[in-house]
Amino acid sequence: MDRVIDVRGLTKRFAGRTVVDAVSIAVARGEILGFLGPNGSGKTTTIRMLCGLLRPDAGEGTCLGFDILHEAARIKREVGYMTQRFSLYEDLSIEENLDFVARVYAVPRRREAVEAALERLGLAARRRQLAGALSGGWKQRVALASCLLHAPKLLLLDEPTAGVDPGARRDFWAQIHALAAEGMTVLVSTHYMDEAERCHRLAYIAYGKLLVTGTAADVIAHSGLSTYVVGVAGGDERQLAALASALAQERGVTTVVPFGSTLHVSGTDAAALDGVRDRYAASGAQRWRRAEPSLDDVFVRLTQQAEDNYA
């Protein structure tokens, strides 16, 4: 069983509106797939179809070797699903939450498993604290621990780090990589580009359509974008903003993305973009430096394209 997730043509409609449109995803064992896309693009819906929480209107495939249409019950036993919304029981304590999950999944040697999870979390002393009283970062840690209690083979994590501080995010990613190294397969949706770069492979979805898949380097290489980093003398904010809106009007410029005190100016037609550079740089008020497009530049471009095509 090489491909832990292998689905083709997944489609979901809500009230006649196609929310996920013929999405095909393959994820190998031990791989971390980053699932990216703007809000409302169908990430959560796709994840729900993978673990049997929604029935696809079209499409087929397997998850952990089980048919997603007919063997949802088997898939559920071996998947750890962390929902987008924090969904432990806020009126149960940390320990009661873990114990409940362990019971429902019939975890062998339940008490020890819960105890070990509490120890690993460093929450053994706060076990009786209500889950609702935890801070964002701790909620996320407890939620992840509760997904892992039954030793799943596949983790589906829906925006697990939204609203979590950088320290907790770093710990979280260290843990994900450690799990993947032991053979865990992970599909994780995120909005953070730094997190996208930590994934083995990426899948980008917009308006329900899967636009690209591949490693970060592949995605950048196949984007066909050329990019300049543009700075203004003295780093004046107002000048930079004026420049950004002027550049956005230019033919040959597809995206202008502010990056600190610089702008990332990208275009699909390298010659046209160079023409723009020559005209603007002539004034001497700006520094134009050629650069690799970042993932962000690529995704902004992809979303624009999708908007033009489908929205």
Partner 1 sequence: MTPLQPFSWARFVAIARKELVQMRRDRLTFAMIVGVPILQLVLFGYAINADPKQLPTAVVDHDRTVFSRSLVQAVANTGYFRVVAVPAGEDAADRMLERGRAQFAIVVPPGFGRALQRGERPALLVAADATDPSATGNAIAALTTLGAAALRHDLSGPLAALAPPPGPFEVRLQRRYNPEGVTQHNIVPGLLGVILQMTMVMMTAFAVTRERERGTFENLLATPATPLEVMTGKIVPYIAVGFAQATIILAAAKLLFDVPMLGSGALLVACMTLFIAALLALGFTISTVARTQLQAMQMTFFFFLPSLLLSGFMFPFRGMPGWAQALGEVFPLTHFLRVVRGVLLKGNGAADTLPHLWPIALFMLAAAAVALLRYRRTLD
Ligand X SMILES: Nc1ncnc2c1ncn2[C@@H]1O[C@H](COP(=O)(O)OP(=O)(O)O)[C@@H](O)[C@H]1O
Q: Contact positions toward ligand X, by CB under 6 A?
A: 14, 19, 37, 39-45
175 binds, among Mg ion, ligand X, partner 1, none (CB under 5 to 8 A by kind): none
Q: Is 208 in the site for partner 1 (CB under 8 A)?
A: no
Contact residue for partner 1 among 64, 98, 101, 302 (CB under 8 A): 101
**Closer to ligand X by Cβ: residue 19 or 75:** 19
Who's near 216: CB < 8 A, 6+ residues apart? 196, 197, 199, 202, 295
- Minimal distance in Å, beta carbon 263 to partner 1? 40
Which of 96/171 has CB closer to partner 1?
96
Please give the residues from 41 up to 60 whose contact with partner 1 meets the rule CB under 8 A. 48, 51-55
Residue 222 interacting with partner 1 (CB under 8 A): no
**How big, in percent rounded to 5, are the helix, strand and coil portions of the chain?**
40, 30, 30
Asked if residues 271 and 234 have their Cβ atoms less than 8 Å apart, the reply is no
Nearer to partner 1, 78 or 297 (CB): 78
Which DSSP category does 126 fall into? G
67 scored as a contact of partner 1 (CB under 8 A): no
39 binds, among ligand X, partner 1, Mg ion, none (CB under 5 to 8 A by kind): ligand X
User: In the chain, which residue ranges form alpha helices assigned H by DSSP?
Assistant: 43-50, 72-78, 94-104, 110-121, 136-148, 166-181, 193-197, 216-221, 237-249, 270-281, 295-310
Smallest distance, ligand X to C-beta of residue 12, A: 8
Residue 40 binds what, of partner 1, ligand X, Mg ion, none (CB under 5 to 8 Å, by partner type)?
Answer: ligand X
**C-alpha–C-alpha distance, residues 302 and 308, integer Å:** 10
Structure tokens at 21: 């449109």
Contact between 89 and partner 1 per CB under 8 A: yes
Which two three-digit tokens encode residue 248? 């956005």
Q: Binding of partner 1 at residue 165 (CB under 8 A)?
A: no
What 3-state class would DSSP assign to 37? Answer: coil
In angstroms, rounded to a whole number, what is the distance separating the alpha carbons of residues 262 and 259?
A: 5
Residue 52 interacting partner from partner 1, ligand X, Mg ion, none (CB closer than 5 to 8 Å by kind): partner 1
Query: What is the distance between the alpha carbons of residues 113 and 163, in angstroms, rounded to a whole number?
Result: 28
Amino acid at the residue 246: A
Q: With CB cut-offs between 5 and 8 Å by kind, which of Mg ion, ligand X, partner 1, none does residue 19 bind?
A: ligand X
Rule CB under 8 A: say whether 15 interacts with partner 1. Answer: no
Binding site for partner 1 (CB under 8 A): 48, 51-55, 72-74, 76-77, 79, 81, 83, 85-92, 96, 100-101, 103-106
